[in-house]
Amino acid sequence: MINVTKSHIPSMKVFNRYFQKAIDKNWITNRGELVKELEEKLKNYLGVSQLTLTTNGTLPIQIAIKALELRGEIITTPFSYVATTSSIVWEGCTPVFVDIDPLHFTIDPELIEDSITDKTSAILATHVYGNPCDVDAIDQIAKRNNLKVIYDSAHCFGVNYMGKSIFTYGDVSTCSFHATKIFHTGEGGCFVSSDEQLHQKMFYHHNFGHDGTEAFFGLGINAKMSELQAAMGLAVFDEIPQILERRRNAVEIYDKLLESTDLGRFHVREGTDWNYHYYPVLFSSEELLLKAMKHLKLNGNHPRRYYYPSLNTLPYVNYKEMPISESISKRVLCLPLSSYLKEDQIKAITDIICEIL
Ligand SMILES: *Cc1c(COP(=O)(O)O)cnc(C)c1O
């Protein structure tokens, strides 16, 4: 069976060597040595000044909303994973959807300003498939209207835009290190902010609000990463170059084999060093997508409809029509992509798709 993704399993010898350090100290969580070591490595690798590891990629979004004290309406994208929208609702704010641009699949900045009201407090957008939003336009809109900006950068490990880490844009960027992501810690994530005060506030929030063992800064939650997760992260981190190389290779093979088809693609924004996180293809109709999916599954391939449904159709939000996101959601399919995918497997997948087209 070939799934949409396959978690990269690092060398168990290396994993055990790292984890043994935690065992030797009998220190399994609460900011142990491994979490701190991984944070340092990631800050260096990603080129960011402040980064805190968390236990998943959803809590940092909620913590960012909390720390920025957002209220009322938050402008957001309907084309993302459900965690982007659910975090807004969970924090007691109202998501206001703005449609995406049909080339990049990211929120359309030209439509943002029309949706701003006196209740709008922020923009929460996703760099979908690791493709940067139009960060410069969003930055200008936010400044003009006194709004905060959070980027759900769950797909962006290692992505650079205009020569610097995509995590350096906006007030806060969050990432996910879930087992299905390029770099992973089983479950995990982080938040990044260059604002020292804000970062410190989020840091308190992620550890129950503790300021020392007996004093409290304020309200908090438990979003700490454990040493088990960090050991996995350190072991995977050592293999990042191979992971990226194998994914790039797989994407190039897909591109070549699907070159002559009329499948639609998203455009990687100019100025981006992309990370080959997903391989989405756009069918001309949902009917054709379903047919392709059926045949792929019969042959043991399990692509996923990332992202379906369009989030403006969730049962707990106010529905407003988003024609582009709804249309793309119905027609986009992410083909299997991982560090293990072989050329003959890609060939089998593309043969099935070509036959259906
Ligand atoms: C994976 C993902 C998340 C959630 O991350 P978890 O680590 O699973 O909590 C949030 N947003 C997007 C866009 C994602 O793809």
Q: What is the pLDDT of residue 157?
A: 97
Residues 137, 16: one domain? yes
**Phi, psi dihedrals of residue 41, rounded to the nearest 5°:** -60, -40
Q: Cα–Cα distance between 156 and 182 in angstroms, integer?
A: 9
Summarize the confidence of residues 103-117 as an average pLDDT: 98
Q: What is the pLDDT of residue 70?
A: 98
Residue-range definition of the domain harbouring residue 275: 240-356
- pLDDT tens digits along 290-303: 999 999 999 999 99
Residue nearest to ligand 1 atom 6, measured at CA: 57
Q: Is 126 in the pocket of ligand 1 (CB under 6 A)?
A: yes
Domain with 313 in it: what CATH number? 3.90.1150.10
Query: Computed over its alpha carbons, how large is the radius of gyration of the chain?
Result: 20
Q: In the chain, how many domains are there?
A: 2
Summarize the confidence of residues 184-192 as an average pLDDT: 98
Token pair in block for residue 215: 């004093």
Burial (CB < 10 A; 0-12, 13-18, 19+), residue 49, is exposed
Residues 230, 299: one domain? no
Summarize the confidence of residues 266-270 as an average pLDDT: 97
Q: How far is the CA of 355 from the centre of ligand 1 (A)?
A: 33
Q: Is 171 in the pocket of ligand 1 (CB under 6 A)?
A: no
Residues 186, 256: one domain? no
Determine what percent of the chain is predicted with pLDDT higher than 90: 99
Token pair in block for residue 309: 């449904």
- pLDDT band at residue 1 using 50, 70 and 90 as cut-offs: confident
- pLDDT tens digits along 306-334: 999 999 999 999 999 999 999 999 999 99
Q: pTM for the complete prediction?
A: 0.97
What rounded mean pLDDT belongs to the chain?
97
Query: Which of 55, 65, 81 should be mutated for ligand 1, with most atoms under 8 A from CB?
Result: 81
Q: What is the pLDDT of residue 4?
A: 87
Domain with 101 in it: what CATH number? 3.40.640.10
Residues 308, 201: one domain? no
Q: How far is the CA of 58 from the centre of ligand 1 (A)?
A: 6
Q: How far is CA 49 from the centre of its chain?
A: 20
Nearest Cα residue to 138 out of 129, 125, 128: 125
Residues 132, 153: one domain? yes
Per-residue pLDDT for 37 more than 90? yes
Q: What is the pLDDT of residue 118?
A: 98
Residues 172, 246: one domain? no
Residues 292, 174: one domain? no
